[in-house]
Amino acid sequence: MMYRQMNSRAVNPWKLMDEVLSNLENTQTPRKTANTTGVDVLEAADHLLVRVNLPGVKPENLDLNLEKSILTLSAKMETEALPEGVKYLWRERAQGEVKRQINLPERLSHEGIEAKLEDGVLTVKLMKSAESTPKKITVASAASVNA
């Protein structure tokens, strides 16, 4: 659907609406809440690795809990104070609090868990429980099995 303005130029009302919404999103008012953050889960034979993007988060502002096979993460991204007379023209970096519950597909041990926050990436190593790791079974010949 196109409309014509007085100078005979075609105007797309949907494009105008996109521009208006874009301008509203990119105002000088800072966002108050953090968005969700990227999570990767990797599997090895005896453990899982969970990697979470947490730029600007300090270890003291991070809370991790493991209950059964659910890893719960809560992180606070601190709001930076701006110098007087400085305002945002554009703001996309998240701030506020991030909360995630990651449902892991394996039975996990609560022993040997390691967590490291480096360069804005949290890496959590979770050991699989003994019951969920594969075990090779040796098959004996019929002569060696006592009945």
3-state DSSP of 35-53: CCCCEEEEECCCEEEEEEE
User: What does the domain layout of the chain look like in residue ranges?
Assistant: 28-130
The model's pTM is 0.63
Q: Grade residue 5 by pLDDT with cuts at 50, 70 and 90.
A: low
Q: Grade residue 134 by pLDDT with cuts at 50, 70 and 90.
A: low
Largest Cα–Cα distance of the chain, in whole Å?
A: 99
Query: What phi-psi label fits residue 22: left (phi over 0), alpha (psi between -120 and 50 degrees) or beta?
Result: alpha
Residue 11 has pLDDT above 60, yes or no: yes
Please give the CATH number for the structural domain made up of 28-130: 2.60.40.790
Q: pLDDT for 16-35, tens place per residue?
A: 777 777 666 555 444 444 55
Q: pLDDT for 23-78, tens place per residue?
A: 665 554 444 445 568 899 999 989 999 999 998 899 999 999 999 889 999 999 87
